[in-house]
Amino acid sequence: MNSIQTLQCSTSTMTVGAIPDLNQSINVSKVRNIHTDLEKSRHSQFRRTLDSYGIDDNRNTLSHLNREKYNVFVKKDKSGTADLSHGAYISKKGEDIYGSFKWLNPKGLTKYQTEKVAVVTFRNQAELTQLSRTYSEKPLPDFLIQILNGEECRDTVLYSKKPQLAKFIPPVNQAQHGYLIRPNSPYSSDALLETYIDSPEKLKDSKEGIILCTYAIHPGIQSDFLGGQHNQPDLERLEVNLPTPQKAIDEKTKMDSLTSILSLKLAHLPQLEKLREGTLQHLQDVYHTNENDNIRMFFHFPVAEKTATLHLHTWVNKGDHPLNEPRSFDLDTIIEHLQQGKDINELVLNRNEGSFFLPTSDSIKDIVGIPFKGVVHNSLTLPL
């Protein structure tokens, strides 16, 4: 009979045999096993690299992320190398209650836990205006066109099995966009989508949590899928297909599309408030969320051209990566900023002094005209 091997504590960031003081904060440099002199050398080298790009080394004000401590459980092999293909469980000091961990899926962990990052730095409003023009020349995302036209696709099949998963928040008036709340299917496996269909109320307590993606729908677009929920009287309706740029929709309807947060103005405030209220109600009705659940609603900026239609991410009990957080603009932050009569461009330029760090695999850096400054060392990583 073969003997059973002793299980190794491969998912822990603790050294085997160590008994830590639970009240003592983790020393990140020790967790990473980085020598102090080496860390100083890397810091100086990174600063020189930023200087060569004309970027201030403002990582102390980049966000509070650099000062936060993370407790991370990740699977490792016998040599101690982290296996990113299994994702990671993350607890963030100052945000998560003691002993509470959220799961970061393998796709997100692999995307953001990289050695190098691309730097995009906006210095003035003119650069933001140029990016907005570029976004307006792009069509709606392929899958969104399929949904609006009622074509058979992964999403419409999902909604046919569970109609409650697709919730449309109609415009408050003819000058506003509606919003379509839906599961973020591109980031969900077929097995996970089955849970959305059969037991959506169980998702908030699962390791995957709940991930939704809500798209702004131009009121001038004809939609067989939304039907009477969306089609307002006295407005010209346009059928959309893959080659139709959003700019063409704007010119024919005399109403600008919402392509990113840069499109948002004070006039959109009532619809954003309705979006927040409607999203929370949808979460309660379909997913049975309550005040004990961690709910995040945010927009990304900048975004890729292929998804350049304003869309809101909603996460419930889901882990995030430090590299993703600085480019996430909370819905509450957007609403408060507009309530104060301020311009969204100002909010973007003041975030990290206009600098955004992105995975090198991301296509955002390749957008024509975007102020891409180069590739530098990634300082926003998890201590694996």
Q: Which domains does the chain have, with CATH numbers?
A: 28-113 (no CATH), 120-377 (3.30.428.10)
Q: Phi and psi of 276, rounded to 5°? A: -65, -45
pLDDT attached to residue 27: 37
Q: How confident is the model at residue 163 (pLDDT cuts 50, 70, 90)?
A: very high
pLDDT at 316: 97
Say which range, 91-105, 152-166, 340-354, has the weakest mean pLDDT: 91-105
For the segment 169-187, the average pLDDT, to the nearest whole number, is 94
SS (H, E, C) the chain: CCCCCCCCCCCCCCCCCCCCCCCCCCCHHHHHCCCHHHHHHHHHHHHHHHHHCCCCCCHHHHCHHHHCCEEEEECECCCCCECHHHCEEEEECCCCCCCCCEEECHHHHHHHCCCEEEEEECCCHHHHHHHHHHHHCCECCHHHHHHHCCCCCHHHHHHHHCHHHCEEECCCCCCCCEEEECECHHHCCHHHHHHHHHCHHHHHHCCCCEEEEEEEECCCECCCCCHHHCCCCCCCCECCCCCCEHHHHHHHHCCCCCCCHHHCCHHHHHHHHHHHHHHHHHHHHHHCCCCCCCEEEEEECCCCHHHCCCEEEEEECCCCCCCCHHHEEEHHHHHHHHHCCCCHHHHHHHHHHHEEEEECCCHHHHCCCCCEEEEEECCCCCCC
pLDDT confidence bin for 45, thresholds 50/70/90: low
* Residue 150 backbone zone (phi > 0: left; psi -120 to 50: alpha; other: beta): left
Distance CA 379, CA 66 (A): 8
pLDDT tens digit sequence for 104-115: 999 999 999 999
Is the pTM higher than 0.85? The answer reads no
CA count, 13 A, side-chain hemisphere, 95: 20
Pairing of strands 178-181, 167-169: antiparallel
pLDDT for the residue numbered 187: 86
- Average pLDDT on 99-103 reads 86
Q: What is the mean pLDDT of the chain?
A: 85
Q: For the segment 212-268, what is each residue's pLDDT rounded down to a tens digit?
A: 999 999 998 888 898 866 555 555 667 787 788 999 999 998 999 999 999 999 999
Q: What is the mean pLDDT of residues 182-197?
A: 94
For residue 241, what pLDDT is reported? Answer: 77
What pLDDT, on the 0 to 100 scale, is given for residue 237? 66
Provide the pLDDT for residue 41. Answer: 47
Is pLDDT at 380 greater than 60 in this prediction? yes
> pLDDT tier at 47 (50, 70, 90 boundaries)?
low
